[in-house]
Amino acid sequence: MIEIAKESINGKTGLIGLLGSPVNHSLSPVIHNAALTALNLNWRYLAFPCNADDLELALKGLRRINCKGLNITIPHKNNALKLCDKIDQLAQEIGAVNTLIPGINNSWDGTNTDVKGFLAPLKEYQKLTGKAAVIIGSGGSAKAVVHALNLLNISEITIITRKKNSLEEFLKNINNVNNLSCNFHGLIADNSSIRDHINHADLIVNTTPVGMNGRSDSNNNTIPLGTKNWESLTPNTILYDLIYTPKPTEWLQLGVKYKCHIIDGLEMLIQQGAASLSLWSGIKEIPIKIMRKAAENSLNSKQVK
């Protein structure tokens, strides 16, 4: 039974939230609480910073206090899957979860709404069938992106990541998934052929946190793979950054310079969040326009400051 909100917060207020590290930048509380207010639900959405060593304890504790649902973000999407009692087929194939739903006996059931969220802003690009894509990163979001691109009938995907063992594990997991028709290549970030793959790609997706509010990689780059690898970008290439702060990111600013199509991660955040909220609440019609407006207002207010 869903409690209808009569006051801002009371003794019956339900809890939903986000687990990850970092989470202080996240707009998820903004968009979800806007939707909860519009739906008149007596729930509140909070962001919980959580280190990897504390993930299992945090999940157990939140379930014990009757948390109504959780989103999972960097860097826990892979490990959270292992802590679920049940996972659906999509999450199992991806090997990562971003949404947890209360299960029986104080357990969590896992699923993944990232695929749906990722695809939403690509609907206007109808001619990706048979094209080539590059994915930067090999975490849980990258796994979801692979499945999304497979649905778009992308024919060739190149995975670029910094660590050899991460790349090998990623490709091993992908090769064990049924119904993937893409051809895969894997490259370490210092490989000399990276530019060739970038120049050949019709769609390039950054799934790493590099560039998020100035966050840098181990080489102090605030642009994924460093600036030089993007100096010969082909016009009309689609650059899709799963990051949405700052808006636009430095990488997407480069895309504008080279006359590329650019997409940030805001619409993906909204769409995957709406799908999660629908699963938790059982409500099919989630006020996506209100969520989008709340996100845009929040971003605009930060830029003004």
Listed residue (240, 19, 244, 280) closest to 120, CA to CA = 240
Q: Are 152 and 122 in contact (CB under 8 A)?
A: yes
Catalytic residue positions? 77
Which residue is listed with tokens 């090998």?
A: 168
Which backbone phi and psi does 187 adopt, to 5 degrees? -135, 140
**Could you give the angle at which helices 164-175 and 140-151 cross, rounded to 10 degrees?**
40
Bridge partner list, 156: 132, 183
**Could you give the angle at which helices 28-39 and 266-281 cross, rounded to 10 degrees?**
50
CA–CA gap between residue 114 and residue 243 (Å, rounded): 13
Residue 94: partners with Cβ closer than 8 Å, 6 or more residues away: 112, 114, 115, 140, 143, 144, 146, 147
